[in-house]
Structure 1
Amino acid sequence: MMTRISRLFAASALAAAALFPAFAAQAEGLIRLSQQFGTIYLPLHVIRDQKLIEKHAKALGLDDVKVEWAQLSGGDAINAALLSGSIDIAAAGIGPFLTLWDRTQGSVKIVAGLANQPNYLVTNNPDIKTLKDFKATDKIALPAVGVSVQARILQMAAEKEFGAGNQNKLDTNMVTLAHPDATAALLSGSTEITAHLSNSPFQEQALKDPKVHKIFSSYDILGGAVTPTYLYATTKWQAENPKTFQAFFEAVKEASAWIEANKKAAADTYIRVEKSKLEPAFVQSLIESPDSKFTIIPAKSFAFADFLYRTDALKRKAESWKDYTFEPLHAESGS
């Protein structure tokens, strides 16, 4: 009998596989990437805008690298696309990554983090001040029920609020919805969605409405800065495409450093690539926030790995964050 997660992967794969043709074997110089919604994906916008993969591939002797992009939402769809061979680089939260790392016996690993940024739980219900105030009718929108980084943060918060063994207490409140749609639903006030475990810029957009308030930040739950979202690939693809892999890794490093040094220009890039209607100054303020840092180095990823293993969501135990990351990251002081 298929498990719920297996059914989700199978269903998502049907849609994801249509995005790109799957190849049994790939030659160096082809890379297919996914991305989602939010400013945390800004390094990918910069890579795309400045053609950084092409730049670093050429320096490695790959003159005709082909780069393809897909916009997906939710870790289930992204993991299914990676498993089906429809994409080479996945961009999703630490929750979906660890689920896939566990399921594949460690044959998927993190290439790099995207940024340290908080996730806020926001609500339009004035009666909800803590997790204890949620009723069965209050639905919490997040990108993927059960497996997204937001879902795992909510479970960690529930354990903290209600005690050991109660991490799933609010699972039945979760509803799968992409961040843009969840924000629209929350602001409308006309749906069952009364809360959203969000990301930037959507959480800050929502908080501009006086009817919306913040319940917690992921930084509160994990005790400091967190890297919620990662870029990951199969070990098979990395082994078969070492130059393309290196070109991508160097591109991510350059993009992160460029954003930190050019925050106004980075905001302009986000607006342009996303075709966003947000004010550039607003996006720039998010990038300049002291809670935001664009870096490839994982922060508190192991806190998730430990929590998921301890609560039986993972069968595979990681002894260190280096167990599930590619070797180029190991010289860094990650966690």
Structure 2
Amino acid sequence: MLSARPWRAAVVIAALASLFITAAQAQVPEIRFARQFSMGYLQFNIMEQHQLLEKHAKAAGIADVKVVWATFNSPAAMNDALLSGSVDIVSGGVPGLLTIWARTQASANPVKGIAALSSQPILLNTSSAKINSITDYTDQDKIALPAVKVSVQAMMLQMAAAKQWGQANYARLDPLTVGMSPPDSTIALLSGTADITSVFSVPPFQYQQLEKPGIHTVLNSYEVFGGPHTFTVAWTSSQFRDKNPALYKALIAAFAEATAMLNNDVKPAAQYWIDNVKSKMTVERVAEIASGKEVKWTMVPENTMKYA
């Protein structure tokens, strides 16, 4: 997979291409969003709380648009929902977008990217004192991540393996990975009752893990990429975009306003996220993580070619 760099590069360029917007009336009575548990979708929390899409849709002459929000455990489940028509807007890591982009380009309803949401590092943490780098893993170890092979964490692990052992061995650590949602994998790691001793998770769960003595970081994705990279993006089907151009334009405006609000004051969004996922973390801690020096809330993709 990772050796086909020209093909993957073309995928990244096309999937994150510039937006296609025209003017016409929306054709759907509702718009359905899919997100995951991480802190990579704070714009969505703001949009939901302040009804920003409804606001911009109304300004465009589209009244009474119903907005529905759903939370999924994995990018694969969200993509399946998008293809089945159960949701309209999906958000996740870049690999999730690339997977469905490649899968649908020859179809009558290809999927394309809308915008980036954030740049954030993701951390591979472990409770095992014997593991300090990926070279220390053995066949007896298990690494929990959101989805095997297709999640951003899975791709990061493959990139790190290719860097360590050569391109031909990019999948060397894949047999050690198991799919598990960030909340569940964090509970497993902190409790020490499961056979999971390493977790490649997402913010803010990865930082919550590090608060327990004995848990330390094995790998930082910024190190793998050689710098900051896009963490979360949003995407949709061409059919939804083409049939609802005015609503799509309102969506972009809502994204932009939510991003500006987030960069102006992160604390309200931190509270919205806590309420949404029912986290026990304090708003001060979540806000601290969301405003960290390595975190950037932006609609502009960053360093995405490294995914190729």
Q: Is the 8 A contact 2:189 2:196 kept in 1?
A: yes
Question: What is the correspondence of 1:158-237 to structure 2 with a 5 Å cutoff?
Answer: 158-237=161-240
Q: Match for residue 152 of structure 1?
A: 155
- Secondary structure at 1:206 match in 2: helix
Higher relative contact order structure (alpha carbons within 8 Å, sequence separation ≥ 6): 2
Give the superposition deviation at 1:302: 2.1
Q: Match for residue 324 of structure 1?
A: none
- Secondary structure at 2:91 match in 1: strand
Give the superposition deviation at 1:33: 0.7
In the alignment, residue 145 of structure 2 is paired with which amino acid? L
**Is 1:54 the equivalent of 2:57?**
no
Whole-angstrom CA distance in 2 between matches of 1:268 and 1:77: 26
Could you tell which deviates more after superposition, 276-285 or 122-131?
Answer: 276-285
Give the superposition deviation at 1:197: 0.7
Question: What is the correspondence of 1:11-160 to structure 2 with a 5 Å cutoff?
Answer: 27-105=27-105, 107-160=110-163
Q: Is the 8 A contact 1:155 1:168 kept in 2?
A: yes
- Secondary structure at 2:33 match in 1: strand
Whole-angstrom CA distance in 1 between matches of 2:275 and 2:149: 33
Give the superposition deviation at 1:206: 0.2
In the alignment, residue 63 of structure 1 is paired with which amino acid? A
**Is 1:298 the equivalent of 2:301?**
yes
- Secondary structure at 1:299 match in 2: coil
Whole-angstrom CA distance in 1 between matches of 2:112 and 2:202: 24
Unaligned runs of 5+ in 1: 1-25, 307-335
In the alignment, residue 37 of structure 2 is paired with which amino acid? F
Q: Is the 8 A contact 1:43 1:256 kept in 2?
A: yes
Question: What is the correspondence of 1:263-282 to structure 2 with a 5 Å cutoff?
Answer: 263-282=266-285
- Secondary structure at 1:285 match in 2: helix
Q: Is the 8 A contact 1:46 1:266 kept in 2?
A: yes
Whole-angstrom CA distance in 1 between matches of 2:149 and 2:267: 36
In the alignment, residue 145 of structure 1 is paired with which amino acid? V
Task: Encode CA deviations 1:263-316: one digit per residue, 9 max, x unaligned.
Answer: 222222322333322111101110120111111111122221x2xxxxxxxxxx
- Secondary structure at 1:151 match in 2: helix
- Secondary structure at 2:275 match in 1: helix
RMSD between superposed Cα atoms in Å:
1.3
Task: Encode CA deviations 1:205-228: one digit per residue, 9 max, x unaligned.
Answer: 000011100011110100111112
Q: Is the 8 A contact 1:29 1:244 kept in 2?
A: no
Unaligned runs of 5+ in 2: 1-25
What is the total number of aligned residue pairs between the two structures? 280
- TM, length-normalised to structure 1: 0.81
Q: Match for residue 22 of structure 2?
A: none
Give the superposition deviation at 1:29: 4.4
- Secondary structure at 2:121 match in 1: coil
